[in-house]
Amino acid sequence: MLVLPADFNNAFFLFQAALADSVPVIFPTDTIYGIGAPISSIKANEKIFEIKKREAGKPLPILVGSKKQLAEIAVADENFDYIPEKRNKGGITHIFRASPLLPEIYKKDGSVAVRLVKKGWLGKLLLIIGAVTATSVNISDTPPLLKPDEIYAAFKGFALYMLWGEAGGSPSEIVGLNGEKIR
């Protein structure tokens, strides 16, 4: 088990280790603590479903650091104009039509949930390592855990943690951009 404070260098190290060992990471996102893994590691992301007792048909949201990364996992259309390249704050997860090249584990009904992360160490990390999944740290259908001691106690079977104080945000809002109108 490895617990490191949240910063760019530790995040880079932990996500590289997660990829090599096919394990998820618990880390602070731009909203609340998340559990995720690089999208290139299907095995690590499958473990998230097991650990959270999450329904197989409920894909994990994906974090990206730029519109360019977004275009790699979603169909680039007029709805991309709705997303500013740089956000002043996080907290909005958008539903787009998924790229046909995106693995099925990340899609539901041809759509994908994506959040463009605001600047900071996490945004910088995503630009370097690529897109990662991130869902709240909890057992499905229970409130998200916000304090490191609660997270550690509930998920001590994880190999990699990056914790730094109590999460100050709230879960993201979801905006559907995968249909004819914004929802």
Is 69 within the bounds of a domain? yes
Is 90 within the bounds of a domain? yes
Phi-psi domain of 22 (left: phi exceeds 0; alpha: psi -120 through 50; beta: other): left
Inter-CA distances, 93 with 12, 55, 171, 175, 177, Å: 23, 19, 10, 6, 10
Per-residue pLDDT of the chain (183 residues; tens, 9 = 90+): 567 777 888 889 888 988 899 999 988 887 888 999 999 999 999 999 999 999 988 999 999 998 899 889 998 776 556 565 544 455 778 888 999 999 999 999 999 999 888 678 888 999 999 999 999 999 999 999 888 888 888 888 775 766 665 455 655 556 555 554 444
Q: Structurally, how many domains does the chain consist of?
A: 1
pTM assigned to the model: 0.84
Is 74 within the bounds of a domain? yes
- Strands 160-162 vs 25-28: parallel, antiparallel or unpaired: parallel
| Domain extent at residue 138 | 2-176
Is 183 within the bounds of a domain? no
CATH number, domain of 154, equals 3.90.870.10
Q: What is the dihedral of CA 140, 146, 150, 156, to 10 degrees?
A: 60
